[in-house]
Structures are given as C-alpha cells and as structure tokens.
Structure 1
C-alpha cells in the first residue's frame, strides 16, 4: 500500500517530535536523518530480497541475490534485527552503522555522521525508543514510498529543522525560493557537471536534479559534486542525494578555501559546467595566509578578515571554459566595499565574466536579516551582454513573513524571466549597464547607482551605501591630492602611515 505525501510528512515529523524535550531541536537532524536513512536502506534490502526470492525461489544463492541489492547489509544489521534489542541500544546502533559503512566502503563510508549514539546525556534511551517506535509506523521500501516522495519528505524535514534551529539553520539550509531562483538562472542540462563548494545539506544540488526531472529531462545523467566543512552536514547531503536517486555524485568533507577537494591531473582546481553556492557571509578566519601564491587569487588576495571574494574567485576558477556559469549568494557589501575587494571586483568586471547582479528581498535568510544579492558569472557571455552587466532589482518581490520574508513562485519566475530577457516583465527593475558607466563609477556595483531600488528597506540601505561610497571616494581623492602636494613640498609621507585598506 502506497502512502501519500501528507501522511509521510506527518509520520516523519512525529518521529522528530519523539526527541523533543531531552534533545535540542537544533540537533534533531543529527539523529533523525541517520535513522531515516538506515530505515530506508533496511526496508529496501528486505524488499529486494523478497523480489529475488520471488524470481528464483529455492535456487536463490548469495551470488545471485547480490545483483538485486544496491547496498550490502551484513547479517544482524537490519532495522528489525537491531531495534528490538533491550540493552545498550544506542551503542548497538552505533556499531551497526559502522558495520554497514565498512561493508560499503565506496558508497557509504562516513555517511551516518558522528553522533554520540551511546551517550545517554545527549540522547536518552527513552527518546531513542520513541524515535524507533515512530519509524516503525512507516515502511520505506519502493512499493510504499517512491524516490520522489521520499526526497520530498527529506526536504520537508530539512525545512522544519531549519525553522526550529533559527539562526543556526543558515549553516545547512538556504531558503528554497533563493535556490530555485539560482537554478532557474543557471539552467543545468543532462550530462553536465554541477558543483557546490559549500554544499550544506545538498539542497542546491537536489534542486538542480528536481528541475531536470520536472522538465522531463534525464535527471540521473547529472553529475553532482560538493564540498562541506561540517561532518554531520556533509553526511546529511550524501543521504539527501541517495534518497533523490542520484547515482553519480561525490560529496567530500573539508575546507574548500584552505584545501579544495576537487583537483584535475595537473593539481589545479577542477572545472565544472555549473558552480552554485550560498557560502558563509563575510567569513573571518578563512585562510588568507595561503592565498598569496594560490592560483585561485585571479584578481588579488581578499582581506584576511573577510572571505567573500575568496569564495567568489574559487568559484570563478572552477568554471568550465565555454559552457561554465556561476551563481553565488553574497551580501551587498561585495558590491561596493573598498581596498583589496575593490581591486578584485574591478578585475572580475574587466575580464568580462560578471554577467548579472540580482538584488534579493530583505530578511529571506535564517542567519541574517540583511538583504543579499546574486552574482552571476559566465565564461562565454551572450554577444549582447559582452562588456555589460545586467542589473535586476528583486527587492520588492516578497511576501512578509513572521520570522523571515518569503518569495512566491511567481516572484521567482518574474526574476528568472527578467534575467533571461533583460526586460522588466512585472515589477522587476532591470537594466543592462555598459562597462564604461561602471568604470566611471569606480567599479562600484551598488544596484542603486544604476536602477531604482523598489523595496523600502533595501532602498534605504542602498541610498546609505551609495552615500557612504561617494563620501569615502571623496575622502580618498582629497587625501591623494593632499599627499601629492606634501610630496611636492619635500615632506616625508611615511610619517602619516596613510592607507586606503
């Protein structure tokens, strides 16, 4: 008997609520997702075993049966074999996860994360038993729950966990309307490679897959790659992709800026058709000391206390020639900040890889209320957009929410259409700005310099930023003229210690 999406979501949330009280809601994902994944592969293994027996009967042997299974589950690791044990249940579960990972080293090594299952202060046995009882009410084999349905259930849990986690959610969850906007702009195609250097729970990679599936294209031909610094979150991303029926993917754990995991045979960063990310904003301790000789610093080394342009340059360096395109979520500061960032920004504009700047509504994200923007890069821009940058103001395209603002499907569609056509379809201010005008503005990309910003909150911020940038430039010009005159008078300028950084 199949299950409906509402029934599945209700039962999954019941499972999560079994932990409420002794377990912090921010930690629900640490325990619920590994148990969900184990229940799925266990129920599926039993289904596959029954299918094999139905076909071969008494002639079935281990060698024949192995062809029916996607994953190997050693004897004693099935859900039903472990969850009925009455002593040291948490420790038994941890041991089971290790055995399953060891039996599937190429596909499942480390997939269950590093939760302390045997630590009853973290997860009391009563909470663990409640979680098991809730999952016992759901059968997760292919005859009951399709991959599409299970993937949607996983996404439902991620969204609910993000709502429960508050600002901590920014570490693993990007609002789906922002993801869908980026994916709609970048337009992945079957057979292409897609890469997220700060992939969190894998939501952007999954959205790429979903778009292909919904458009009737072969989503299984997409090759997905990601890197994530947090072990638990990287594990959640891998489970997410497995549950969405993706065969060709590789999620690696590690620090993308200090140690990029994907390299080509020459040791350079590997290149991909589509590069997409919502990296942590304005990361302070990002490893600037290693970038002075890093080939990814294509336009300069970002400030030691702000890694925004380190992520941007890493992504642009990872963009495939000809077909490559990049979409990245950034704070508005990258559009106007001075010093080293201004030089990098100028370099990226001069090399003509920046295609578009899209202003987003305020208060969309869990981790911050400040408005953000999308930067779109393309290795080979359309002829009409060469030596131009497309500016799109989407600041007014939102629905006011209790904690975060929301974008409707229509809002997202309008902005995608504005990007594709370069026109104003419905309340999205759009303008294709020539290089010369940007150069005259000192390579400042503040959206308010080029088009009217609609949303009041964003408009106020835009006006302040433009005024700040103008005042700062005026100060710099005045200082430059002063130092010029002092130098002409023979005064040693080193005593002033002047710097524009």
Structure 2
C-alpha cells in the first residue's frame, strides 16, 4: 500500500520528538537526518538484495564471490558492508541488523561503526556524508534515548522505491528541516531559507537542462534541489543539472548531501569550507570555477578576514565588519562569461552603506553587472525580522539589449501574509514578482502593463540616474510611491532595529579592541 506524505511525516516527527529530553530542538537535525538516511540506505539495499535472491534461485552453485559480483553489478548501486569482520561481533552495517541489538550495551558505538563503514565502502558517493557523529557518544546522547529514537523511527514504513516515491521521501526530509527551523530559531534557521524565497530566486534565474548550478553557502541544499524541481515542473529533466555547493559547517554539508540523495539527485558535489577564505571549486589555473547559475542566501553582515590581493575583489575589498559584498564579489567572479547569472538575498544595508561598500557598488554598476533590485517584506526569515532584498546579476555584456545601462527596481515589500512565526510570500506573490521581472518597459522606465491587476510597483532606472544619486540603490529613491508609503511605523521600527543592531556590533568590537589594549571601564 502506498505511503502517504502525512503518515511518514508524523512518524518521523515522533522519532525526533524522542530527543526532547536530551538536547535542544536546534540540534535534532544532527541526529535525525543521519539515522533517517541510514534507514533509507538499509531499506533500499535490503529491497534490492531480496530481488537478487528471488530472481536467482537457480544459482546455488555460485561461489560467494561470484554471487556478490552479480548482485553489485545488476542490483545494488551502493554497498552496505559488515562491521567488526572476522570477529564474533561481525554483522551487516544495516539498520535492521543493529536494531536487533538495541538493548545491548554500546549502541552508539555500533551505530557509529556502521555509518563510518558505509562512508568508507562508498567513497565516491558517501564520503563524509554523516558529519562528525558526535551524538553517537554516550556522553552526548545516552543509549536509552538513542534506542527510543530508533524504535520510533522504525515505525516509519520501509523507505525504498518499491514502497514510497522519492517525492514523498524528499518531501518528508524538507518537512523536518522546516519543522526544526520553525521551532528552534536562529541556529537551525540560518541554514534553511524559507521555501517561497528559494522558489522566487530560482524562478528569476530559470535554470535550463544540463546547466551548472552553484550555491556558495548551500546550508541544507534547498536552493540546489529547488532548481531541479523547477526544471522538472517546466517540463525539463531536473536530474540533468550539475549541482555544486559549499558549506562551512561539516554537519550541515552532510545534511545537504543527504537531502540531495533523498530527492534522487545524484549529479552533485557538496564541499566543506569557508567560501570566501578557501573556495573549493577551482579551475586548473587556480581561479574560481565558472557556473551558469549561482544563487545564495549568505549569512548577513558576517565579520570576516578581508582578502589580500584576491582577484575576486572587483571594485575593492569589503570591510571586515560585514562580508555581504564579498559574497557578491565571489558570485560575480563565479559567473559563466557566456550566460552566467546570479541571485542573492541580502539586507537592505548593501544598497546604501558607504565607504568600501560604496566603491564596490560603483564598480559593479559602472560595469553594468546588476540587473535587478527586488525589495522583500520584513520578517520573512528565521532568526531575523529585518527586511531583505534580492539582487540579480548578469555576466558582463549578457543583459538583454533593452536593459543595458539600467537597473530594474521592484517593490514587493507590502506583499505580507502573516504565518505562525513569520511572514510568508504566497504563490500569487511569487508569480507577480516574476511577471514584473519579465515585463517590458516604456521609454520612461515604466512597465507597459502597469495597470494589470496584482501588478507590483516597478521601474527600469537608467544607470545615469543612479550615478547622479551617488550610486545609492535605495529602492525608495526610484519608486516614488514606495518612498511615500515607506514611513509607516513598522518600517521605522525595522530601520531602527537594524541601525541599533549595527551600532551594538560596532561598540562590542570597539570595546574588545580597547580591552585587548588594556584599556578598561568604557562599558560601565
């Protein structure tokens, strides 16, 4: 009988909920996702193993080596090896095998041995897949709690293609990602971009079959998966995309890899490392690799160690206090010169802050790389209520003729639908933004269908006008209605909170510098 989405989601959450006595919700993913993927691999392997046995009953005279060769050639796509080979403890590194020992001491050690054995036996597919696995330590997670989680998860129906589709399995994985983010705030939410924002960016960049898609801060891999899903929804073949991601947190990189596998996407490469410091995707000459589509939701206003003579530093080097424009510079450097396009979500400060950021903005506008600025509502993201914007870039000389030497501004800041913990964009909102982005514009920069029902405020602004405004990209400068409506209480509070947070961060840094110099007493 087919497994329903609701059924698998409920049972997986029941398993996750067993962790409530042991750790905060923000840490659930480090335990639940490795266990879920291990069960998926084990169920899949055992399903194909049974097929092999059923279809080869007349081959009893084969040696063990010959039988193994046939099974792994014709039935299996990965190996589930044995742990503790040659000892009395030898057993298959599978979910069902370890579940049978669940009451015996050392459960966490056996689980860790299984996951490490699977990684080692399948280096091309599963290397470093399961993360650090610190939760397998008795000091972090007791055997009793781990056993409870496994028992609850075992009530989930068999996770193989004969019992549930990859759409159901991938949907369940995303359900857990969202549930963890909804309930745990910043720590988990920083790795999970709300689905509607992801869908909007992907719709704007419109990946095509056989293109390369790259997320330099990929988190849980949602943007890469959404790219394949959109191509499939548009009648293409999502699996033809070549997907690349880099993530600085090893455990989260593992979550992204598992997420991609759960969605039946195998043409991917997810690397671990600081993208600004050590980009993992490079050409033979040492320069960063080039991609057709680059999309990201990087950490906002993150402190960083500025580059020293890095070729990515177009227009200058972003200040140490915020890496926002450094991420943009990396994405621009990574665009395929023939058809590369990039979309990134950032706080509004990138549009108007001065100093080194202003110099970078000037160079990017002078080189005609920025295609669009799209203002989004406040409180869309987990862990922050500030309003954000999407910036869309095109490789040099690849803008459409009518958009050369100009920037399209779209104001979607009023498209707010309130949900439990945050605001959301509806499917209609997304469609209206995409329609505005694809619109034609008259000689005055106004959309030709401005009177259409549901149309957003938008304007194609000549670069010369932006230059006259000191390269300021504040949306209110160019969409006058937006400027007139902007001074409501909510907007003022958002602006105040942003300015206050930036001031506090600056003061904290100043006090740290003073303290390191032996100067005390300024924080009384």
**Considering the TM-score relative to the shorter chain, is it more than 0.5?**
yes
Where do residues 232-247 of structure 1 align in structure 2 (5 Å cutoff)?
232-247=251-266
The offset of 1:12, in angstroms, is 1.1
1:70 matched residue in structure 2: 77
Aligned partner of residue 300 in structure 1, secondary structure:
coil
**Higher mean Cα deviation, 411-420 or 441-450?**
411-420
Where do residues 49-448 of structure 1 align in structure 2 (5 Å cutoff)?
49-59=49-59, 61-67=67-73, 68-75=75-82, 76-85=92-101, 86-138=104-156, 139-284=158-303, 286-288=304-306, 291-379=307-395, 380-422=398-440, 423=447, 424=450, 425=452, 426-448=454-476
The offset of 1:217, in angstroms, is 1.0
Report Cα offsets for 1:138-158 as digits up to 9, x if no partner. Answer: 210111111111011100000
The offset of 1:238, in angstroms, is 0.4
TM-score (structure 1 length as normaliser): 0.89
The offset of 1:71, in angstroms, is 1.2
Aligned partner of residue 472 in structure 2, secondary structure:
coil
The offset of 1:122, in angstroms, is 2.1
Aligned partner of residue 430 in structure 1, secondary structure:
strand
**1:168–1:366 CA contact under 8 A, matched in 2:** no
**How far, CA to CA, are the matches of 2:426 and 2:128 in structure 1?**
37
The structure-2 alpha-carbon separation of the partners of 1:265 and 1:82, relative to structure 1 and needing over 3 Å to count, comes to same
**How far, CA to CA, are the matches of 2:10 and 2:233 in structure 1?**
24
**2:376–2:389 CA contact under 8 A, matched in 1:** yes
The offset of 1:274, in angstroms, is 0.2
The structure-2 alpha-carbon separation of the partners of 1:114 and 1:251, relative to structure 1 and needing over 3 Å to count, comes to same
The offset of 1:119, in angstroms, is 2.5
Report Cα offsets for 1:387-409 as digits up to 9, x if no partner. Answer: 01000000011202342111111
Aligned partner of residue 226 in structure 1, secondary structure:
strand
The offset of 1:77, in angstroms, is 0.4
Where do residues 18-37 of structure 1 align in structure 2 (5 Å cutoff)?
18-37=18-37
**2:182–2:421 CA contact under 8 A, matched in 1:** no
**How far, CA to CA, are the matches of 1:376 and 1:461 in structure 2?**
27
**How far, CA to CA, are the matches of 1:4 and 1:464 in structure 2?**
46
The offset of 1:215, in angstroms, is 2.0
**2:387–2:494 CA contact under 8 A, matched in 1:** no
How many positions carry a matched residue from both structures?
463
**How far, CA to CA, are the matches of 2:233 and 2:321 in structure 1?**
42
Report Cα offsets for 1:393-430 as digits up to 9, x if no partner. Answer: 00011202342111111111111111111534524110
**1:446–1:462 CA contact under 8 A, matched in 2:** no
Tell me whether 1:42 sits opposite 2:48 in the alignment: no
**How far, CA to CA, are the matches of 2:495 and 2:257 in structure 1?**
43
**How far, CA to CA, are the matches of 1:434 and 1:118 in structure 2?**
58
1:492 matched residue in structure 2: none
Aligned partner of residue 57 in structure 1, secondary structure:
coil
**How far, CA to CA, are the matches of 2:350 and 2:493 in structure 1?**
14
Aligned partner of residue 119 in structure 2, secondary structure:
helix
Aligned partner of residue 423 in structure 2, secondary structure:
coil
1:12 matched residue in structure 2: 12
**How far, CA to CA, are the matches of 2:180 and 2:496 in structure 1?**
35
**How far, CA to CA, are the matches of 2:97 and 2:257 in structure 1?**
25
The offset of 1:461, in angstroms, is 7.2
1:499 matched residue in structure 2: none
The offset of 1:302, in angstroms, is 0.8
1:485 matched residue in structure 2: none
**How far, CA to CA, are the matches of 1:405 and 1:302 in structure 2?**
31
**How far, CA to CA, are the matches of 1:463 and 1:154 in structure 2?**
36
The structure-2 alpha-carbon separation of the partners of 1:293 and 1:464, relative to structure 1 and needing over 3 Å to count, comes to same
**How far, CA to CA, are the matches of 1:214 and 1:316 in structure 2?**
28
**Higher mean Cα deviation, 401-410 or 419-428?**
419-428
Structure 2 unaligned regions, length at least 5: 83-91, 441-446, 498-524
**Higher mean Cα deviation, 301-310 or 271-280?**
301-310
**How far, CA to CA, are the matches of 2:233 and 2:370 in structure 1?**
29
**How far, CA to CA, are the matches of 1:325 and 1:387 in structure 2?**
16
**How far, CA to CA, are the matches of 2:58 and 2:124 in structure 1?**
31
**1:415–1:428 CA contact under 8 A, matched in 2:** yes
- The runs of at least 4 aligned residues of structure 1 exceeding 6 Å deviation read 461-465
